[in-house]
Amino acid sequence: DIGVKVGYGLGLLVNKNVFDDVSYSHELSGSYNYGGKLSVNIGDHNAITFDAMFSKMTQEFNYSIAGGPTTNRNEIVWDNLDLYLMFRSSREGAYLEIGPMMSKIRGIKQTDTVHGSFGESDDVSSYYQDRYFSAVVGGGSYIYGSGKFTTMLGMRLHYGLQDLITQEGQDYRGPFAFPNPSRNPSDIYDTY
């Protein structure tokens, strides 16, 4: 089977320091992807699928600085090529799937209302991994089908298996550190 896929979802980067910091709040940030799939059926109910998807991921944070504006915004946006290898099982018009995903980061930028954005000569890519792996589980249902054409609607949950931030990014303490210590320069986290 071959197919075309599009998706939209919400994402959230997790770091214990940021979650415990009352001056910071996460936004569930929108992401989208598009691409295609190739699958090989195994009998009547199972398949191995390979998906190649282009995605744009976003994480927005709101934070406050003592004596400054009540809300500042920090945003990280990255483009991926996501490669999935999934096992899919289908019964009575519904399916479940599970498998790994490798994301190759094709570009990343970070902006902040206090500091502005990095210029063309300022590259934040060394603070972030160039690829990362995730575990994926999903499910859905067939909406319309005939002998040669099927439309499906489903949902996938992704969980990153490694840190998006590199060691250099963890050690960096400048204005574009993750998440952004400029929100309170006197109170940089003791550890990453």
What are the tens digits of pLDDT across the range 33-75? Answer: 999 999 999 999 999 999 999 999 998 888 877 666 567 788 8
| pLDDT computed for residue 120 by the predictor | 45
Distance, in Å, from the CA atom of 107 to the CA atom of 123, rounded to the nearest integer, reads 10
Sign of torsion over alpha carbons 157, 137, 158, 85:
negative
Question: pLDDT (tens digit, 9 = 90+) per residue, 1-27?
Answer: 899 999 999 988 888 877 787 778 888
The answer, as to whether pTM is greater than 0.75, is yes
pLDDT at residue 187 above 70? no
pLDDT at residue 121 above 50? no
pLDDT at residue 111 above 50? yes
What is the percent of the chain where pLDDT is above 90?
48
Give the mean pLDDT of the chain: 85
Sign of torsion over alpha carbons 88, 89, 94, 100:
negative
pLDDT at residue 181 above 60? no
